[in-house]
Amino acid sequence: MFRLVLALALSLVSPLVRAYEIENRVLFTDGTEDEVLRVISTADADLIAPVIEAFRAANPGIGVDYHVASSSELMAALYEERARFDVAISSAMDLQMKLANDGLVLPHTSAATRMVPDWARWRDHVYAFTQEPAAIVLSNAAFAEGPVPATRQELIALLRREPERFRGKVGTYDVRVSGLGYLFATQDARTSETFWRLAEVMGNLEPQLYCCSSDMIDDVASGKLAVAYNVLGSYAAARGDARPAITVLLPTDFTTVMLRTALIPAETARPEAAGLFVDHLIELAWGGGNPEAFPFDVADPGAEAGDPRLSRIRLGPGLLVYLDPLKRRSFIAEWESAVVQE
């Protein structure tokens, strides 16, 4: 078997053919399969490769054409362009809920889906298969002499006390372009007013704004950033190359936990094979099998009870509140006033 990696740039594709942007494309196939699933996902190909390889081993007649896109571009592909993908995997729970709520998702039930707890599914349309925290990532070099903040309030106090030390050295998501960043920010704001105080403090320090967790982790590891806020903790934990240079903190006041979800778009041409892939994700997460093929923390239904600082985002129509155009414009305007300060 071979893996063909294709870097795709929007500039190479006519906008009349594709208006959404694919960051990377990987073909998991040896050319002999009867079917090739088209999967669009926000998860980096290297991270999820063991999952796909295990799926192919169990289903040798099915290959996978894996497309990596940001959560916003995934939404554009499925919602605006009605692109033909068979499975969609995203960290932006609210956007996945909108696809389902607006009738763009096929229902799927099986023996595997019955393993999913009620809180980790929405009807028979959206299924969670991970729990991933939003973390604060620190540069070990920048904090070699301490102190290391444990809460948002401690981080605020530190940034206010030493502004020149952190000017231009703080990073976070640009919520205007990142669907996951917008989800984390709106959930933080709903949980505590501390979010807006932190946003304003960061805004006074010429913050660096990012589309993706991977880029923030790179810049913390290199020393370009001292602090990155709301980084996807699973990505930071998986970066063995960066771990000697970074510390990953789960704030003790509260830690927002995202559920990565999968669904079957209504435009699929291969609903049965797509169902097998969704079942595979569920079985790895909830069935307890083959941990070597699952690069995420096991989706533990008792996680909240075992760790009260975890604030798990709930699947449900409540996630649609901040997708209302008026509420979105209002939130982004307030965020720009605090963080961008132009």
Q: Is the pLDDT of residue 19 over 80?
A: no
Q: 257 has which bridge partners?
A: 133, 312
Q: Is 139 in the same domain as 234?
A: yes
Neighbours of 150 (CB within 10 A): 14
Mark whether 142 and 221 lie in a shared domain. Answer: yes
- On whether both 270 and 166 belong to a single domain, the answer is no
| Residue 19 belongs to domain spanning | 2-131+259-301
Percent of the chain whose predicted confidence (pLDDT) is above 90: 78
Q: Specify whether 192 is located in the same domain as 335.
A: yes
What average pLDDT does this structure show over 27-43? 94
pLDDT of 184 over the 70 cut: yes
Number of neighbouring beta carbons within 10 Å of residue 79: 16
* Residue 227 confidence (pLDDT): 98
DSSP string, 197-248: HHHHHHHTT--EEES-HHHHHHHHHHTS-SEEEEEEHHHHHH-TTTGGGEEE
Whether the CA torsion 194, 157, 153, 173 is positive or negative: it is positive
> pLDDT value at position 299?
54
7 plus 124 within the same structural domain? yes
Residue 307, domain member (yes or no): no
177 and 282 inside one domain: no
Q: What is the band of 341 on the pLDDT scale with cuts at 50, 70, 90? A: confident
18, pLDDT greater than 70:
no
Is 238's pLDDT higher than 90? no
Whether residue 219 sits in one domain with residue 139: yes
pLDDT for 84 equals: 95
Separation CA 164–CA 178 (nearest Å): 28
Residue 308 lies in a domain: no
Residues 127 and 201 in one domain: no
Average pLDDT, the chain: 90
What pLDDT is stored for residue 145 in this prediction? 87
Asked if residue 314 is part of any domain, the answer here is no
At residue 124, the 3 state secondary structure works out as coil
Please give the pLDDT value at position 11. Answer: 35
pLDDT in tens, 266-284: 999 999 999 999 999 999 9
Residue 298: the pLDDT is 60
Q: Does residue 317 sit within a domain?
A: no
Report the alpha-carbon distance of residue 114 to residue 153 in Å, rounded: 41
**DSSP string over 194-210:** HHHHHHHHHHTT--EEE
Encode pLDDT of 131-155 as tens digits.
899 999 999 999 998 789 999 999 9
Q: Is 156 helix (H, G, I), strand (E, B) or coil?
A: helix
Does 312 reside within a domain? Answer: no
- Number of domains forming the structure of the chain: 2
Among 39-53, 238-252, 291-305, the range scoring the smallest mean pLDDT is: 291-305
Q: By mean pLDDT, which of 158-167, 214-223, 229-238 is the weakest?
A: 229-238
309: in domain: no
Same domain, 8 and 138: no
What pLDDT does residue 13 have?
Answer: 37
Q: Say what the pLDDT of residue 6 is.
A: 39
86 located within any domain: yes
Same domain, 118 and 167: no
Contact 228, 137 (CB under 8 A): yes
CATH at 37: 3.40.190.10
pLDDT digits (tens, 9 = 90+) for 173-183: 999 999 999 99
Q: For the whole model, what pTM was predicted?
A: 0.87
The whole-angstrom distance between residue 172's C-alpha and the CA centroid of its chain comes to: 14
Both tokens of 144, joined, read 């070699």
Whether residues 203 and 149 share a domain: the answer is yes
pLDDT in tens, 297-312: 765 544 544 567 788 8
How large is the average pLDDT for residues 236-265? 92
pLDDT over 70, % of the chain: 91
Q: Please indicate, yes or no, whether residues 127 and 15 belong to a single structural domain of this protein.
A: yes
